[in-house]
């Protein structure tokens, strides 16, 4: 799908108080993840979110950091952002599968509102294309998903 064919998202909307969001970053590819953060911040600003940020060493550490944050509490939702680029070994496959399964397990177990923006790409060029300041930005997409999950959690809590 080309950029011109990608869906245009509506502005983020959320009833109730501005949410407090923890953004957990795996900034191994700092420029790419930085672009995703810019996209996410724009979406979260639309709902007045307060943002806390925590960095981890790499994508593999994202689920454990999420678990630690869930135990501490105090946030309305969590946004995980990172990037894994395929290399010449099976390492990519093992990391991607472990991280995705770990995050999914925590999501299902806890029901915590999550936005998951882990780029799993073949080339750095693909990652850059998904972190630009346009509507293909996967950080913004993950933030939109998070806002929707927070809204759903509030709806079910009332």
Going by the annotation, the residues of the binding site for 5-amino-6-(D-ribitylamino)uracil are 28, 59-61, 83-85, 116
> Does 144 participate in catalysis according to the annotation?
no
Query: What would the DSSP string read from start to end of the chain?
Result: --GGGSPPPPPP---SSPPEEEEEE-TTSHHHHHHHHHHHHHHHHHTT-EEEEEE-SSGGGHHHHHHHHHHH---SEEEEEEEEE--SSTHHHHHHHHHHHHHHHHHHHH---EEEEEEEESSHHHHHHTSSSSTT-HHHHHHHHHHHHHHHHHHHH-
Residue list for the binding site: 28, 59-61, 83-85, 88-89, 116, 130
State the catalytic residue, choosing from 68, 91, 93, 125. 91
Residue list for the binding site for (2S)-2-hydroxy-3-oxobutyl phosphate: 88-89, 130
Active site positions, annotated: 91
């Amino acid at each position: 799908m080309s950029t011109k064919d990608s869906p245009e998202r509506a502005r983020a909307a959320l009833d109730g108080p501005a949410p407090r969001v923890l953004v957990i970053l795996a900034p191994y590819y700092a420029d790419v993840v930085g672009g995703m953060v810019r996209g996410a911040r724009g979406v979260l600003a639309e709902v007045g979110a307060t943002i806390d940020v925590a960095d981890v060493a790499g994508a593999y550490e994202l689920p454990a950091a999420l678990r630690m944050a869930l135990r501490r509490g105090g946030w309305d939702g969590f946004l995980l952002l990172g990037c894994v680029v395929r290399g010449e070994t099976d390492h990519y496959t093992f990391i991607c599968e472990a991280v995705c399964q770990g995050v999914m397990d925590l999501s299902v177990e806890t029901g915590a509102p999550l936005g998951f923006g882990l780029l799993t790409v073949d080339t750095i060029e693909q990652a850059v294309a998904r972190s630009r300041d346009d509507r293909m930005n996967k950080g913004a997409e993950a933030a939109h998903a998070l806002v929707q999950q927070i809204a759903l959690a509030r709806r079910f809590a009332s």
